[in-house]
Amino acid sequence: MIEILTIITSLFSMIGMWKVFKKFGKKGWLSLIPLVNGYKLGECVRRERDGFYMLLFTLIIKGLTVISSFVDTESLQYDMLLIAQVIFAIPMWVLSVRIYIGLVEAFGRKKRWAILFFFFDWFMLMLFGFSKKFMPLDDYVGDKHSDTELSNISLLGDGSGLSVNLNKRTTVNFFKKLTLLRDIHLTIPTGHMVLLLGGSGAGKTTFLNAVTGYEKADAEIKIGKLDVYKEYSRMKYDIGFVPQGDLMRDNDTVYRTIADAASLRLTTDMKPAEKRKRVEDVLDIFGLLPLKSSLVSKLSGGQRKRLSIAMEYISFPTLFILDEPDSGLDGVVARNLFEKLREIADTGKIVIVITHTPDRVIDLFDDVIVLAKDAERTGRLAYYGPVDEVYDFFGKESMENILLAINQKDEGGEGRAEEFVSKYVSRLKAAGGEA
């Protein structure tokens, strides 16, 4: 009797899930495939990771069940297999609850509805699948497609600065191919300090990784006339990247920290006397020469940040990139740090900076790169150009308000990313591809 009820409820679950999949714009017949249907349900509610691990744990439990059928029920091995099944069942139940929570949220219902799913999943799937009163929110339905055209250009630059022609950057996440960046073309002259602006998930870090060659894209990246990808072993020393956190040892002195960085980033054919002079020069540039005998652990936040930057600047890179260098610093210290970066740019370097407080130092920048997510949640170029033109382009008075304009509505923004991406593409084409 129990087996018959199990078969009936499983059948109802598949039928209800079929209708749920159809409401999300997915193929309904996928609900008929055991194990896979749970993963696809997680994909519908943007919880692919939970769906994948639930599938994995389910397969493990099924495997343990099969193995236990060949073991003596009175043996210790059988008991251990039963215990293992229970252990793996716990995270599987947790993941299923997470997917149910995602489902009720996708349908605009409160989280407590997930409790009913956990105990009466077949009934709730039938209800959500067949009732016209239960419809998923528009943002979850189907695959969103961007109507924004591509620029289909290639920028050459003047052969001295940075030129970026990025067609596409893709990745595979749990069997699903995702496009992270698309159609980003720009040239940055030497001597320019550029702000990289974009909301969470817009692709700022992905863009920088592509530009530096750390994660290659379908792109051509050149510094001067040299291709970063084709000559990476040579070009990586001409690119400095300062992450938000630092990797310095607290028990080293300031001088030893820079000297070690010099050993790693400078060519082996440089004479020891030249290396020592380079270390002294960089310490002087960042105002750290009087502190060269101090331990890193004794530095203030601002001094530590300058030391972290100096480590990457030791090779005098043409392209210098910094990810939130002002993180954790107060206004005055942060301002002094950005003024130092401005001085570096003025020596003929290209400096690209991400910061969450751009308005307080925007007067020090020459240009702005604005990345935004289109309808497909792909990072696109919404603007690149001078700071004094960006406000008119977006019709806003501050960088913070520009971010609000391009952020998705579910992120508290105005959801106008597509509008500005399209506007910039049109502007670029009208200018004959010059940027």
Domain assignment present for residue 150? The answer is: no
Domain assignment present for residue 152? The answer is: no
Structure tokens at 202: 């817009």
Determine the pLDDT at residue 1: 64
Regions in the chain scoring below 50 on pLDDT: 435
Domain assignment present for residue 320? The answer is: yes
Mean pLDDT, rounded, of the chain:
87
Q: Are residue 12 and residue 87 in the same domain, yes or no?
A: yes
Question: Domain count of the chain?
Answer: 2
Q: Are residue 360 and residue 255 in the same domain, yes or no?
A: yes
How does DSSP assign 360-401, residue by residue? Answer: GTGGG-SEEEEEEE-TT--EEEEEEEEHHHHHHHHT-SSHHH
Q: Are residue 212 and residue 314 in the same domain, yes or no?
A: yes
Determine the pLDDT at residue 147: 58
Q: Are residue 91 and residue 236 in the same domain, yes or no?
A: no
Helix, strand, or coil (residue 288): coil
Domain assignment present for residue 146? The answer is: no
Q: Are residue 125 and residue 184 in the same domain, yes or no?
A: no
Q: Cα–Cα distance between 98 and 241 in angstroms, integer?
A: 38
Q: Are residue 174 and residue 119 in the same domain, yes or no?
A: no
Please state the φ and ψ torsions of residue 55, each to the nearest 5 degrees: -60, -45
Q: Are residue 125 and residue 167 in the same domain, yes or no?
A: no
Q: Are residue 87 and residue 222 in the same domain, yes or no?
A: no
Domain assignment present for residue 210? The answer is: yes
Q: Are residue 58 and residue 114 in the same domain, yes or no?
A: yes
Domain assignment present for residue 144? The answer is: no
**pTM (2 decimals)?**
0.74
Domain assignment present for residue 140? The answer is: no
Determine the pLDDT at residue 283: 92
Range of the domain at 190: 162-430
Determine the pLDDT at residue 432: 65
Q: Are residue 99 and residue 235 in the same domain, yes or no?
A: no
CATH number at residue 426: 3.40.50.300
Domain assignment present for residue 46? The answer is: yes
Q: Are residue 218 and residue 285 in the same domain, yes or no?
A: yes
Q: Are residue 87 and residue 166 in the same domain, yes or no?
A: no
